Amino acid sequence: MNRNYNRRELLLNTASLASLSLLPGASIATSLIKTPQQTAGPFYPTRIPLDSDNNLVDVEGRERPAEGQVTHIFGRLLDTSGRPVRNAQIEIWQCDANGFYHHPRDRGGVADPNFQGFGRTLVDSNGGYRFRTIRPVAYPGRTPHIHVRVLGIGFQSFTTQMYVAGEADNDNDFILKRVRNQQARDSIIVPLEPAPAIEVDALAGNFDIVLGLSPSI
């Protein structure tokens, strides 16, 4: 198999992680406004895939990577005081590059078998996390987005959605429009910038998640 990255080495590459802070828009959020809670939607997996790590682009056992533009999403999980939330797991799920989910209720078409569709990772001691996925795309009725769920000790599971800055459909998305507070709305709209220092032709974006509580973990 000829790939630019060994999937396991990529996920643990500390040099790549260090370069994230050099990207435009990659600084830690200065306003700890609570991340707005949003619906999980109808396409949370009915069955967690055997390969469910934080590299959604390369599926174990598949020879080809997923279609779509590789995108690195990273950030920190914080409480309202700015302290890192530890002992937590973050999950993401999204449609493939053609707008289809790996879900039996999505009857629009057959999802890309080379795209994992769902991933999860544990936060580190500083609340940090990262995913390697594809740039989200629009499908009928929705602007591009990624579903995000946080699970941990001492708080209820929390679900939100991450959106892409500059998308024309953001203003018309019926779920995003429910967030009336402008600061809260801005906190879930993320610029995706070219990230050649991390991976050729890839994008990257920083998405900090601030829980609406102050857990002592």
Prediction pTM value: 0.85
The structure tokens 């991340």 sit at 35
Alpha-carbon separation of residue 6 from 2, 13, 55, 60, 148 (angstroms): 10, 10, 11, 11, 25
Tell me if 169 sits within 8 A of 177, measured CB to CB.
no
Ordered by where they begin, the domains of the chain are 7-210 (2.60.130.10)
165: Cβ contacts below 8 Å, ≥ 6 apart: 189, 190, 191, 192
CA 98 vs. chain centroid, Å, equals 18
Up-side HSE of residue 155: CA atoms within 13 Å toward CB?
A: 22
Reading the block at residue 172, the tokens are 């018309």
Residue 176 burial (CB count, 10 A): 21
Mean pLDDT, the chain cut into blocks of 10 residues (217 residues total): 45 42 42 91 93 97 97 96 94 97 88 97 97 97 98 92 97 97 96 98 98 59
Sign, CA dihedral 126-40-23-64, equals positive
pLDDT for 31 equals 56
pLDDT for 89 equals 98
Write out pLDDT tens, residues 22-43. 444 444 444 589 999 999 999 9
